[in-house]
Structure 1
Amino acid sequence: MEFLMIFSFHYFIMGSLVLLISGAISFLFTRIHFTFIVLLSMLAGLIYSFIIEVRDFAIFSVIFNGALSLLGIGLVKAGLYAKQKAEDTDKMNPY
């Protein structure tokens, strides 16, 4: 039971950091392709699972980090797209 609680806490923190860092990288460095960011976050999940000595969940860590990284990048790209469309619409408005 204690292992499950510690395990879930580790993955909750790791997921939050991956979501935050991948979103920040895609916002600040728009020229970096998203697959590079996702692959780096997947590698970080693999390394982290070896650090906390939970090798059985390495594949879960990789998939979990990849999915959260894609979610963070998607949210940032959607926000940037909405900002661009709002500015384009504002330029077309004659008033």
Structure 2
Amino acid sequence: MTFEEKFEKIAEAGFTGIVGFVPKPAEAELWRKKLDEYRFSFGALAFPRKREDLRELLQQAKDFGAQYVNAQVMDSFVIGDEAIALLNGLIDEAVAAQMPVFV
């Protein structure tokens, strides 16, 4: 299935947006064209292990025009104070970037 066909199928299924990885710079223009053509919203995926991972992605997502970031923390074995510090760090990065982040 081609890139264009995927967008067509998403629209046919009644969806109004896509959640995915921020497109690479070489693909960003095509993505933006198709998102605009279908009037789709876009949310970015993130898999941070530490707050610095999210910082870079937030800027990329914002530059691309994502409405939000869906962050799935990569180390599910972090617990207690370490987990709290990590989540607070992710929240701090989201606030600094002025981008909604859902964990």
Per the normalisation by structure 2, the TM-score is 0.29
More strand by share: 2
Identify the structure with the greater helix proportion. 1
